[in-house]
Structures are given as structure tokens and as C-alpha cells.
Amino acid sequence: MTTPHEAVIGSTGLDHRKMGVWAFLGSECMFFGSLIATYLVYKGRSPSGPTPHEILNIPLTSISTFVLLMSSLLMVLALAAVQRGDALGARLWLFGTPFFGMIFLGFQVYEFATFVREGLTLQVNLFGASFFVLTGFHGAHVSVGVVWLLTLWTLALRNRLTRADALIVEIAGLYWHFVDIVWIVIFTLVYLIQ
Amino acid sequence: MTRGVWGWITTVDHKRIGILYGVTAFVFLLVGGFEAALIRLQLARPDGAVVSAGTYNELFTMHGTTMVFLAVMPLNAAFFNYIVPLMLGARDVAFPRLNALSYWIFLFGSLFLNASFFVNAAPNAGWFGYANLTAKQFSPGANIDFWVISLQLLGVSSLIAGFNFIVTILNMRAPGMTFMRMPVFVWMTLVTQFLIVLAFPVITVGLILLLFDRFFGTNFYNPGAGGNPLLWQHLFWLFGHPEVYILILPAMGIVSEVLPTFARKPLFGYPVVVYSGMLIGLFGFGVWSHHMFTVGLGAVVDSAFAVGTMLIGIPTGVKIFNWIATLWGGRIRLTTALWFALGFIAMFLMGGLSGIMHAAPPVDMQQQDSYFVVAHLHYVLVGGSLFGIFAGLYYWWPKMTGRMLSERAGRWNFWLMFVGFNVTFFPMHFLGLLGMPRRIYTYAGGLGWDLWNLVSTVGVFILALGILVFIGNAVASLRSAAPAPADPWDGRTLEWAVSSPPPEYNFRNIPTVHHRDELWALKAGRAPVEAAPPPPREIHLPPPSFYPIVVAAGVVLAATGALTHLALVVAGALVVVFGAYRWAFEYRSSLGGGLRPPSDASPRGLRGQSPRSSGPR
Ligand code: HEM
Ligand SMILES: [Cu+2]
């Protein structure tokens, strides 16, 4: 990367980019809030099955939830490594985080495929529609995060990620943690409280 | 500065982007006005036959959508772009390239929406596209698809601009400009951006569900499969009510700048105006169901929303009193800008009063879907937003173009618009109370509606004449008017401290602010005049960039694909990814030599600190 990432500290003492990401995440809260509200409003209103009881596999999804949670831990380690200037750690954890994200996505693909085989589709009932749209958009967010983190990882591999760049890692981390937290909410509301 | 067309395509300068927004939005104002004129011609006489019923549906849908999303919002954006960084004492916005991206997506999205006319499939389900009229079953053509997809594009554009301006305002204030020293226009811009950022995701979700219903066969809005069309109404109005504040708050900000300048008195009760603006924004999220009094949500819900709606009247009324008190005892200069601001107060007040009327559910049940509502919404949107925008145009035109507008023509412009507006819309109150429904393409004679419909149509031509005078005035000004001085109105805020139009870097030295009306304080010798630091040898500005338009093109390519072929969606996505990566890695910290400021004296003696303290990114 050709740009030295000098921080741009504004009137509030925050970097522009960091503040921009906070504003973005605020907006995302409304986005997921609306999707989750749609799911809840339609809960139990499907005239025909399959129902959540018949379909959702809590043990399986608990595992993938755990993996995603662990990826947040790795994200913390990655940021700490970049801040310390620990190149090896940065490479390791900046790969580990998206890798765990990919495992989560793998589980989701498997889950979706199984559900479709068992007869839950977008079209079959409201549960299918609201479930797939909600978790699908979450999965899309995870995918964006994975690509983002892998990009940072390639920078780290080419020694282009120095201590001065800690901020861009921190920003990716903010996004990643946010996507994780959204999943905790979805997991609780969709899977645990049926 | 890169010149020519290429310069405009790659520009990241907030002033140029502001001009692009303004010109584009003005063209769409004319397009929407043309559609309105056709509507009025059709309704001028009973049994009108100017357009068919189907075309009529397209006309009012496109008129509403165009005026809201392609005319008034981007006209406001033109002022955000051009004026806010100047008022803040900044060199640009926080993310100049994102700013360009917002504009290009807005432009392409607007063209996309209007392209529907050429394939004979213009949207036709009204500007709030109620489910389940929008279902594939009832609207099988591509009309609604055009509408859904272009609204998504416009939403993305507004959201990006929203993040950008929140950061710009919070983070790029000149040293000394505390929040309570910010000009009210900047405050209202900030509140507007928060509304955009929080309200647009909600309609995004509503539109996504509609898109899935139409493209993938889901049943979100299909009552036959357990779905509830009211979900759309809730999602739409949870966005839609904040949206009306997105349309009006900037105009309130403009008027709060124009009045003190021409009354030569500081704004009366500045903190109260600011806080009531925030309250309006906040309450705006809690009143959406007043658009749904007739769907049968129940007495308790209706009452709660009625009370909430009436409560909003309080901060709004407070502002009106503050504006009047600002004028009170002022040494008033009746410029065209002030005339429009006065027109705004009077007309917005009338729209507010009819609004309070249908805040009461029993009254609303009589007025809903009648021409009374059409009268109401135009009093706030034309008499309010558009008059506010014209006040801003007359006020800031010299700053933006470096030329004066004719005040004489301006007076004609104002009075023609003012009279034309009232002749057009005041009779609609009567029509509504006489029972004429909105969105009907024709009506039988002898129902008592003939006269007022004719009067209303005549009014449109007076209004149009007013707009024509503006265009003439603008052209004449650009061609041959006297050059504008830096500070033609004896202004109060920082944009008047730099030349008209401002240099590319805005401020040679970033000023330090000591007062709410900083420039007045300086001119009156009430602000400390500090020793000028030596002018910076180089000013770093972000270099022009090609990638915003590339990314926007990718986005619109993908959108086109959604209506034609999957391959285009993939191609568009690839262009977006390519553009985004090149963007992220674009060389940007050092530009090919900084700009050298001329060595003449710093204008207006503003003294400042090092220019790099809060540069654009
Ligand atoms: C400039 C002159 C204008 C005229 C003569 C005009 C006229 C009209 C008329 C007659 C209708 C009712 C159509 C019907 O219900 O059948 C209408 C609807 C509407 N107008 Fe305007 N209008 C003007 C400007 C504006 C502006 C500036 C805005 C917004 C900022 C606006 C927003 C709307 C909206 C949202 C609707 C409702 C569309 C719908 O029913 O879906 N109008 N206009
Ligand atoms: Cu409302």
C-alpha cells in the first residue's frame, strides 16, 4: 500500500474513519432491527409448516455460534499484535479471524442446504421467508467481513501493515464485532427463544 | 484544478459536487413540475382527456417520487455540500471521494428511475407504493421493479452522504467552533443526516422484502399466505415520517441564516432553535402511525400517535416564534432571499395548521386520501421546503457563482411563485372538504368541483412563470451580472469571509472562531485579531479520483441486470469490487504538489492556525 495511514484526528479527538464507521454501525442497527422485527412479527403466523421446532438444529448452530464468538477473540489478538508491531502475530490472527468466519459460513451453507432438503424454502411459508432473509443478510455481512480481513491479511503478508496502520485494523474489528453481536441477538431470538 | 469535463467527472471538491447536485436536482424539479402540470391539465375540466388513466397513475407516482427524492432532497444536498464545509471553516468534507460517490449514485439512480418512461413501464403505485398493490399479481409489469430498485440506489446515495456529513460536522469544525457556535444551518444539516442514517435502513428493509416477494416468490406482503400488507405501511412510514423532516429541516436551517442577516440581528433564542430542531428529529421517529389512522389499529394506538403528533407541533411552533422574534425590531432589508424566507414562515405555518387538523384521528378519517391532504403536503413541501430552498438560492447564489442575481427579477420571481402557489393549492383545501379524492384521473361535472379545479390549474401557470423568471434571472446573472463581492449581504458566518466563489482550498489559514456570529464580531472589532501566522506554503487537498464514478457505474450496471440478465448483475458486482479495491489503495496522501495560495492578504483578516489540523481525508 502506498499510503502511510496517518491518522486524521478531528475536532472531537476521533479519527474521521473511525467515526464514520460508528455512524455506519448505528445505521446497521436499524437495518438489522427492521429485519429482526419482521421475523418476530411473523413468528407463528405461517399457515403451514415446516415450523422452527421441526427445523432448527440448536446443537449444530451452537457450535457455529461458538466459532464466530471465538473469531471475535482472534480479532482482539490481531489488533493487539498489529499495535505491538508483532508481524508474526498479525499474520497469524489476521488469518485466523476470517478463517473462523469461513467456518461459520460453512455451517450456514450446510444448514441452509439441509433446511431446503427438509422442505423449508423462501417460498414455502413466512417462517422460511423471514428466516432466510434475516440470516442470509447476516451471512452476507460476515462474508464482507471475511473479504475485508483477508485483504488486511495479505497486506500483513507483504509487510505492508505497520503499527501506524493499527487504526484500519481496529476499524475492521469494529465491524467484525458488530456482526458478531448481531448474530448473538439472532441466535437468541430465533433459535433459543422459540 | 483539473479542467473540462474530465475535471468534473473526477472532481472530489465539495463545491463542485454541490454545483452538480444543484444543477441535476433543478433539472428534476422541472421534470417533476412538468408532470404536475400534466396532472393539473388533465384535472382542469371534468371528464378530462389529456392523458389516459394508466398514464395518470404513472404521472402522480413519478411526480411524487421525483419531487421528494430527485428534486428537494438533492437541492438540499447541494447546499450541504457547498455551504457546510465553508461554514465550518473546513477545506472539504471528511471523505471527499465518498461525496463524489454519493452524487454519482444519485445521478445514475435518477436516470434509472426515469428510464422507465422509455420502456413504457413507469412506476404507477403512488409515491408510497402500498402493498399489496405492488405485488406481482396486481402489478405484473416492470413498473414497480424500476421503482424498488431506484429507491434502493437513491437510499444508498443518501446513506453514504449521511455518514460523510455526520463526520464532517462533528469532526471538522474550525478551532474554537464549539457546538453552540455552529450556524443553525449546520445544526439542521446534522440533525437531517442523523435522520437519514437512521430512517433509510428501515425503508431499505421494506424494499428488500418487496423485492423478494416480486423476484423470488416470498409472501411477506401476501395476505393469502399469512403475510400482512400493513407491515409495509409500518416500515414505509417509520421511514416516511422522518423523511418529511429530512425535507423540511434544511429549509428551517436556511431560513435561520437568512433572517438574522437581513434583520441585522442575531437569531433570537439560538439554543432554543437548535434544541427544538433536535426534538423535532427525535419525535419524528415516534409518530409514523398518523399516516395509518384509517387502517384500524385501534383507539389506544391511534390516540397515542395523535398525541405524539400534536406534541411535535410544539417545537415547530417555538421555531416560528423565534423567527418572528428575530425580525422584531430588526433593521430589515427586504431582499428577495428575505421575501422567500418570509413566504416560508407564512406558508409553512399554514401547512402546519392543516397538519395539526388531521393529527386528530376523527378529522383525519374525513380528510385521508382527499385533496385536503394534497393541499397540506404541498403547503409544507412547496411553501415550506421549496421556498426555503429558493431563499437559500438567492442568499448563496453570489457565493456559489461569483455573480449577483437581479433583485428586481427576484421580486417578480417571488411574487409570481407566491401567488401562483396559493392559487394552485389553496383551492385544494376546498376540493378535499367537498369530497374530491386524491389520485383520481378524472371526475364528473356538477359535483361542485369544477370551479376550484380550474382555478388550481390556472395557478400552476403562474407558478411556472415564477420559475421561468428564476431561470432567466440565473442565465442573465451568469452571462453578464456584476461580479459578487466576498460579502455582499454583510454576512455573519464564515462562508462570507472568503472570496466569491471561494478558492479551491476555501481558507488560506483555517480560521479560529470566537463567536456564534463570527464574521459580525470580527467586523465590529469584537473578536480578538490575532497575529496572522505565515500562510502555509502548500495546502494539501485530496487529488481528483476516477473511482467514485466507476463504483457508481458498477452499482447501476448491477441494477440494470436485475431487470434484464443475471450476467449484468455479476458484471456490475465485479466492477464495484474492482473500483472499491482500486479506491482503497489509491495513492492519496501526497498530491502532485500542494496548491500554492496566492500571497495577497488573507481575506477579511481572519486569523488562523495551522491548516493541517483537520484536513479532509
Ligand atoms: C410545483 C408545483 C407542483 C404542483 C402543481 C403539484 C401538483 C400535485 C398534484 C395535483 C398532486 C395530486 C395528484 C393526485 O393525487 O392525483 C400532487 C401529488 C404529490 N406531490 Fe405535488 N405538485 C407540485 C410540487 C411538488 C413538490 C415540490 C413536492 C415535494 C417536495 C411534491 C410532492 C408531491 C407528493 C409526494 C404527491 C403525492 C403523490 C402520490 O399521491 O403518490 N409536489 N402534486
Ligand atoms: Cu408523518
pLDDT digits (tens, 9 = 90+) for B385-416: 999 999 999 999 999 999 999 999 999 999 99
Q: In whole angstroms, what is the distance from residue A14 CA to residue A148 CA?
A: 22
Residues 224-263 of B with CB under 8 A from A: 225-228, 231, 235, 238
The DSSP code for B531 is P
Q: In whole angstroms, what is the distance from residue B367 CA to residue B407 CA?
A: 40
Would you state the pLDDT for residue B532? Answer: 67
Interface test with B, best of A1, A2, A8, A121 (most B CBs within 10 A): A8
Of the residues B14, B97, B241, B540, only one is catalytic, namely B241
Q: Decide if A41 and B198 are in contact by the 8 Å CB cutoff.
A: no
The fold of B7-527+540-545 is Cytochrome C Oxidase; Chain A (1.20.210)
Q: Pairing mode, if any, of strands B510-511 and B608-609?
A: antiparallel
Using the structure block, give the residue that is written with the C-alpha cell 438574522.
B260
Q: Does B166 touch chain A (CB under 8 A)?
A: yes
Residues 6+ apart with CB under 8 A from B21: B74, B75, B77, B78, B81, B103, B106
The C-alpha of A86 sits at a distance from chain B's nearest C-alpha, in angstroms, of 23
Residue B303, number of CB atoms within 10 A of its CB: 12
Q: How far is CA B130 from the centre of its chain?
A: 23
Q: Decide if B220 and A38 are in contact by the 8 Å CB cutoff.
A: yes
Q: Does A130 touch chain B (CB under 8 A)?
A: yes
Q: In whole angstroms, what is the distance from residue B279 CA to residue B257 CA?
A: 20
Nearest-CA residue of chain A relative to B174? Answer: A11
| Annotated catalytic residue B515 | no
Q: Does A2 touch chain B (CB under 8 A)?
A: yes
| Annotated catalytic residue B316 | yes
Compute the distance from residue B63 Cα to the ligand 1 centre, in Å: 6
Nearest-CA residue of chain A relative to B175? Answer: A11
User: Cβ distance B258 to B194 under 8 Å?
Assistant: no
Chain A residues near residue B580 by CB distance under 8 angstroms: none
Packing angle, helices B547-563 and B566-584, rounded to 10: 160
Chain B residues near residue A20 by CB distance under 8 angstroms: 94-95, 163-164, 166-167
Cα torsion B136, B140, B141, B147: sign: negative
Per-position b or e across B60-79, b if 16+ CB within 10 A of its CB: bbbbbbbbbbbbbbbbbbbb
Kindly state whether residue A169 falls inside one of the protein's structural domains: yes
Compute the distance from residue B420 Cα to the ligand 2 centre, in Å: 26
Q: In whole angstroms, what is the distance from residue B201 CA to residue A34 CA?
A: 8
Using the structure block, give the residue that is written with the C-alpha cell 454583510.
B490
Q: Decide if B219 and A123 are in contact by the 8 Å CB cutoff.
A: yes
Nearest-CA residue of chain A relative to B164? Answer: A20
| Annotated catalytic residue B530 | no
CATH classification at residue A159: 1.20.120.80
- The residue nearest atom 37 of ligand 1, judged by CA position, is B64
Three-state DSSP class for B450? helix
Would you state the pLDDT for residue B617? Answer: 45
User: Cβ distance B240 to B69 under 8 Å?
Assistant: no
- Report percent pLDDT > 90 for chain B: 89
User: Cβ distance B388 to B344 under 8 Å?
Assistant: yes
Q: In whole angstroms, what is the distance from residue B522 CA to residue B149 CA?
A: 50
Phi, psi dihedral angles at B511 (to 5 degrees): -70, 160
Q: Which domain holds residue A26?
A: 16-192
| DSSP H helix total and E strand total for chain B | 19, 2
Residues 6+ apart with CB under 8 A from B418: B343, B466
Report which ligand 1 atom has the smallest distance to the Cα of B371.
15
ipTM score:
0.95
Q: In whole angstroms, what is the distance from residue B139 CA to residue B521 CA?
A: 61
Would you state the pLDDT for residue B482? Answer: 87
| Annotated catalytic residue B234 | no
For B213-242, the pLDDT digits (tens) are 999 999 999 999 999 999 999 999 999 999
Three-state DSSP class for B607? coil
The DSSP code for A9 is B
Q: Which grid coordinates are listed for B549?
A: 464514478
Q: In whole angstroms, what is the distance from residue A101 CA to residue A103 CA?
A: 5
Using the structure block, give the residue that is written with the C-alpha cell 446534522.
B190
For B75-98, the pLDDT digits (tens) are 999 999 999 999 999 999 999 999
Residues 17-46 of B with CB under 8 A from A: none
Torsion from C-alpha of B205, B206, B208, B209, nearest 10 degrees: 120
- Concatenated DSSP letters for B32-88? HHHHHHHHHHHHSSTT--SS-HHHHHHHHHHHHHIIIIIIIHHHHHHHHHHHHHHHH
Three-state DSSP class for B437? strand
Q: In whole angstroms, what is the distance from residue B598 CA to residue A124 CA?
A: 70
User: Cβ distance B570 to B577 under 8 Å?
Assistant: no
Domain boundaries, chain B: 7-527+540-545
| Annotated catalytic residue B136 | no
Q: Decide if B197 and A3 are in contact by the 8 Å CB cutoff.
A: no
Q: For ligand 1, is residue B417 a contact (CB within 6 Å)?
A: no
- Concatenated DSSP letters for B302-347? HHHHHHHHHHHHHHHHHHHHHHHHHHTT------HHHHHHHHHHHH
Q: In whole angstroms, what is the distance from residue B81 CA to residue B70 CA?
A: 16
Q: In whole angstroms, what is the distance from residue B320 CA to residue B312 CA?
A: 13
Q: In whole angstroms, what is the distance from residue B346 CA to residue B320 CA?
A: 9
Q: Which residues surround ligand 2, an ion (CB under 5 A)?
A: B 241
Residues 6+ apart with CB under 8 A from B421: B347, B378, B382, B383, B459, B463
User: Quick one: which of A44, A36, A68 has its CA closest to A185?
Assistant: A36
For B447-462, the pLDDT digits (tens) are 999 999 999 999 999 9
Q: In whole angstroms, what is the distance from residue B221 CA to residue B237 CA?
A: 16
Number of domains into which chain A is organized:
1
Q: In the predicted model, what is the mean pLDDT of chain B?
A: 93
User: Cβ distance B325 to B268 under 8 Å?
Assistant: yes
| Annotated catalytic residue B52 | no
Which listed ligand is nearest to B286 at the C-alpha? 2
Of the residues B110, B139, B192, B256, only one is catalytic, namely B256
Maximum Cα interatomic distance, chain B, rounded to a whole number of Å: 78
Which listed ligand is nearest to B247 at the C-alpha? 1
Residues 6+ apart with CB under 8 A from A111: A57, A60, A61, A64
Q: How far is CA B543 from the centre of its chain?
A: 28
Q: How many CB pairs under 8 A join A and B?
A: 122
The DSSP code for A15 is B
Q: For ligand 1, is residue B248 a contact (CB within 6 Å)?
A: no
Q: Which residue among A6, A17, A35 sits closest to B589, beta carbon to beta carbon? A: A6
Of the residues B438, B492, B523, B540, only one is catalytic, namely B438
Would you state the pLDDT for residue B539? Answer: 81
Three-state DSSP class for B178? coil
Q: In whole angstroms, what is the distance from residue B297 CA to residue B310 CA?
A: 18
Interface test with A, best of B219, B512, B513 (most A CBs within 10 A): B219
Of the residues B40, B91, B214, B291, only one is catalytic, namely B291
Q: Which grid coordinates are listed for B436?
A: 374530491
User: Cβ distance B403 to B478 under 8 Å?
Assistant: yes
Residues in chain B with pLDDT values less than 70: 1-2, 530-532, 587-617
User: Quick one: which of B367, B260, B278 has its CA closest to B316?
Assistant: B278
Residue B180, number of CB atoms within 10 A of its CB: 10
The DSSP code for B285 is G
Name the β-bridge partners of B608.
Answer: B511
Q: In whole angstroms, what is the distance from residue A52 CA to residue A120 CA?
A: 10
Distances (CA, A) of A20 to A16, B229, B384: 6, 35, 31
User: Quick one: which of B248, B365, B378 has its CA closest to B306?
Assistant: B365
Torsion from C-alpha of B594, B598, B603, B606, nearest 10 degrees: 50
Q: In whole angstroms, what is the distance from residue B1 CA to residue A12 CA?
A: 31
* Distance spanning both ends of chain A, measured CA to CA: 48
Q: pTM for this structure?
A: 0.94
User: Cβ distance A137 to A35 under 8 Å?
Assistant: yes
Kindly state whether residue A171 falls inside one of the protein's structural domains: yes
Kindly state whether residue A104 falls inside one of the protein's structural domains: yes
Kindly state whether residue A126 falls inside one of the protein's structural domains: yes
Residues in chain A with pLDDT values less than 50: 1-7
Residues 6+ apart with CB under 8 A from B266: B260, B326, B492, B516, B517, B520
Kindly state whether residue A95 falls inside one of the protein's structural domains: yes
User: Quick one: which of B318, B324, B325 has its CA closest to B277?
Assistant: B318
Q: For ligand 1, is residue B75 a contact (CB within 6 Å)?
A: no
Q: Does B591 touch chain A (CB under 8 A)?
A: no
Nearest-CA residue of chain B relative to A151? Answer: B581
Three-state DSSP class for B582? helix
Torsion from C-alpha of B285, B287, B288, B293, nearest 10 degrees: 170
